[in-house]
């Protein structure tokens, strides 16, 4: 009986919410109800963050104790404690100034926390993002060098030529003869508007079918994401 209940209840809850959410897309006027369900899911997800923090401390604490990749683990834990202290500092400062209901929000958007975001986190992330084109150029070059079969070499050549044409077509090439620059722009427009668009739509159609198939597998109990 206990095993039956443990197997049936999670599946029943999953199917109920999945079917109801699906109905809200088909039956007009139920979108408000879907919004309420999403709010519920957000609350559950927020409580799972605690699990994430415990895992983070556990994994990196173990790394430090075992002296295995310990340096970055130590940096991470110190950063964690530092940011937590900053959030608490903001919270304490705002204790008498803001209503109790907005205290939690103040902890993540207070002055000190905003400074941490603005002067540490955002510049680091922007620097990392700026490296992306170089990583991609190097990867493309390596692709061309490594491909061994005729098909894969052809694919790599098409990839590189297409990327070059699209990049050159974006540039304001006023020094080039109009015939060349006009043709480059026309080629870029044809690649983006026809070939890439057709490929993208085909891929997105496949992705949509994959998503629906995954959801329907759960709906007909072929997949059980939750434990019995």
Partner 1 sequence: MSMDLVQIVVPPLILLVFIVSILIFWGIVGRGRRPALRSLPGFKSLPGQLSQVIEEGRSLPLSLGSGGVGGGDTATTLAGLAVLEGLAEETAATDAPPIVTVADPTTLAMAQDVLRRAYAEQGNAAGLDFRSVHYVAASPLPYAAGVMDLLSNEETGTSVMAGVFGSEAAFIAEEGSRQGLIQVAGVADLTSQAVLYPSVTHLAIGEEMYAAGAYLNAKPASVGSLLAQDLIRLILVILISVFALFTLLLGGAPR
Q: Closest Cα to residue 86, out of 118, 113, 59, 126?
A: 113
Q: Which residues contact 20 (CB under 8 A, 6 or more apart)?
A: 33, 37
- Which residue's CB is nearer to partner 1, number 37 or number 190? 37
> CB count, 10 Å around CB of 116?
17
> CB count, 10 Å around CB of 54?
10
For tokens 């790599």, name the residue: 156
Give how many residues touch partner 1 by CB under 8 A.
Answer: 60
- Which residue's CB is nearer to partner 1, number 69 or number 193? 69
- Which residue's CB is nearer to partner 1, number 82 or number 202? 202
Label residue 207 exposed, middle or buried (CB < 10 Å: 0-12, 13-18, 19+).
exposed
Question: Per rule CB under 8 A, is residue 215 in the interface with partner 1?
Answer: yes
Range 128-147, binding partner 1 (CB under 8 A): 128-129, 131-132, 135-136, 138-140, 142-143
- Which residue's CB is nearer to partner 1, number 95 or number 108? 108
- Which residue's CB is nearer to partner 1, number 95 or number 105? 105
Residue 5, sorted as left (phi over 0), alpha (psi -120 to 50) or beta, turns out to be alpha
Question: Per rule CB under 8 A, is residue 58 in the interface with partner 1?
Answer: yes
Residue 131, φ and ψ in degrees, nearest 5: -75, -15
Question: Per rule CB under 8 A, is residue 14 in the interface with partner 1?
Answer: no
| Residue of 13, 16, 65, 69 that binds partner 1 (CB under 8 A) | 69
Site string for partner 1, 107-126 (x = CB under 8 A): ------------------x-
How far apart CA 82 and CA 68 sit, in angstroms, is 23
| Residue of 56, 77, 173, 187 that binds partner 1 (CB under 8 A) | 56
- For the chain, the straight-line distance linking the first and the last C-alpha, in angstroms and rounded, comes to 13
Residue 191: both structure tokens together: 């690649």
Q: Closest Cα to residue 110, out of 123, 92, 126?
A: 92
| Residue of 2, 36, 52, 96 that binds partner 1 (CB under 8 A) | 52
Question: Per rule CB under 8 A, is residue 206 in the interface with partner 1?
Answer: yes
How far apart CA 220 and CA 227 sit, in angstroms, is 16
Which range, of 67-75, 83-91, 103-111, 170-178, touches partner 1 by CB under 8 A?
67-75
Which residue ranges make up the site for partner 1 (CB under 8 A)?
Answer: 22, 25-26, 38, 41-42, 44-45, 48-53, 55-56, 58-59, 62, 68-69, 72, 125, 128-129, 131-132, 135-136, 138-140, 142-143, 156, 159, 200, 202-207, 209-220, 222-223, 225-227
């Amino acid at each position: 009986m206990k095993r039956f209940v443990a197997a049936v209840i999670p599946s029943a809850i999953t199917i109920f919410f999945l079917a109801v959410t699906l109905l809200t897309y088909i039956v007009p006027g139920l979108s408000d109800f879907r919004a309420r369900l999403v709010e519920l899911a957000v609350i559950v997800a927020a409580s799972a963050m605690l699990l994430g923090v415990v895992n983070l401390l556990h994994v990196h604490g173990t790394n430090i104790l075992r002296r295995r990749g310990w340096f970055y683990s130590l940096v991470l834990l110190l950063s964690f404690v530092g940011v937590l202290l900053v959030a608490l500092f903001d919270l304490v400062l705002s204790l008498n100034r803001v209503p109790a209901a907005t205290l939690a929000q103040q902890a993540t958007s207070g002055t000190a926390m905003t400074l941490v975001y603005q002067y540490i986190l955002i510049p680091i992330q922007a620097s990392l993002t700026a490296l992306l084109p170089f990583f991609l150029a190097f990867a493309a070059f390596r692709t061309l060098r490594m491909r061994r079969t005729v098909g894969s070499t052809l694919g790599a050549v098409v990839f590189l030529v297409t990327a070059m044409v699209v990049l050159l077509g974006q540039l304001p090439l006023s020094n080039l003869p109009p015939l060349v620059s006009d043709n480059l722009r026309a080629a870029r427009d044809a690649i983006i508007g026809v070939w890439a668009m057709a490929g993208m739509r085909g891929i997105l159609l496949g992705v949509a079918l994959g998503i629906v198939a995954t959801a329907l597998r759960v709906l007909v109990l072929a997949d059980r994401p939750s434990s019995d």
